Amino acid sequence: MFDLEENRKKVQAALLVGIQDSRMSYEDADRLLDELDELTDNLDIPTVDRVVVKLRKPHPAFLLGTGKVQEIIAHAKEIKADVIIFDDELTPAQQRNWEAEAKIAVIDRQEIIIDIFSERAHTREAALQVQLARMEYSLPRLRRAWTHLSRQRGGGTGARGQGETQLEADSRMVRERIAVVKKELKEVIQHRHVQRAKRLRKPVPTVAIVGYTNAGKSSLLNKMTDSDVLAEDKLFATLDPTTRRLELDNSQHVLVTDTVGFVRRLPHRLVEAFKATLEEAVVADLLIHVIDVTNPDAEKHFETTMEVLKEIDAAKNETLVVFNKIDALEDPSDKERFMFTHKDAFYISANTGEGLTELKAAIAHHLNAKYKSTELLIPHERYDVISKLHSSGGIRHQETQDEGVYIEGIFPPALSGVIDPFIQKD
């Protein structure tokens, strides 16, 4: 199989092929191709040309009709492209057929995204998840790899039989490695669950930042918490969830987690692989859904994120919709258009800090509404309880009195067993 990770530095010219199906306008297909162009650019793969093909009905052998296949191959030869990249998913058989016909590498959006994920994963869990996705993607394509090899060796009956034997051995090795990685991943996830359980025993409210890739999630986390999380202007800059402490104006603090960004046509196996990473969104008390207001596909990005949240069962969580980068809007009427369709949204700039005061106040308001305000009177000798309440970050007022320490605050249900004996009844 063409190994994109090993060979991409040798690639000098890529032809990108976008697919416009019956449910899609040409503009939509072209903007998706813009996204593929940006993805390939992230991998330093030079694009020399791009075409959008209208597809009325998928063809099983090549996805496209034979006439269009020959047209694209001729164009690839004319511009001296050494790889054709499809902005859609090709089956293993379709890839083999294309490469047999074109005599150059043919890959799809899935392989590009997996390669980017492989490069950007830093934690053990993310690395295992990407490794699993790559192997599951590669397993049905091993026959394609041996087609390349037999072509290099010159074929022949004996070579073909040897290749088939080796193919069976390679398939078995990959399946065994998949089983090992799944076991390792299960152990890593279990460890993370233990760490999360410890964190929840210090019941600090949690907030997860979600949204389309490159919407400014990491920049927002940095601005709100005065952190230095990697925030670059490229797709999938961060894959590993990062958690920081956010101090709110009412003496509360919360834990805010930046999650992996979503993208349209994200390979389903990567959604599956990253469900564990996205669990931070599932268990969060509040979601902040960030959208790049300057992107022409902002509404579609909003819909894509909502679809993934539904898939991981996080759409039911209370959510604040946040349109970011308003400082970069050239036409003020664009903001008015979004305000008409998203009346309850917040409009901010993670760059300048505009709107962040209102956003922080909204976070505090939603968490206060979720956790009922409680008044406590704690005996002076029970400083162990007072210490736990301080750890929770929910104390809004504290006052030393003769009979004990009066505390008023918002405390998560996990602390109910601790505070019940000291609650002041009306």
Please tell me whether 213 is known to bind a ligand.
yes
Please tell me whether 377 is known to bind a ligand.
no
Q: Return all residues near 200 (Cβ < 8 A) that are at least 6 apart.
A: 414
Please tell me whether 218 is known to bind a ligand.
yes
Please tell me whether 324 is known to bind a ligand.
yes
Please tell me whether 291 is known to bind a ligand.
no
Please tell me whether 238 is known to bind a ligand.
yes
Please tell me whether 216 is known to bind a ligand.
yes
Please tell me whether 261 is known to bind a ligand.
yes
Please tell me whether 250 is known to bind a ligand.
no
Please tell me whether 239 is known to bind a ligand.
yes
Cβ atoms of 108 and 155 within 8 Å: the answer is no
Please tell me whether 211 is known to bind a ligand.
yes
**Residues marked as binding for GTP?**
211-218, 236-240, 258-261, 324-327
**Residues marked as binding for Mg(2+)?**
218, 238
**Residues marked as binding?**
211-218, 236-240, 258-261, 324-327
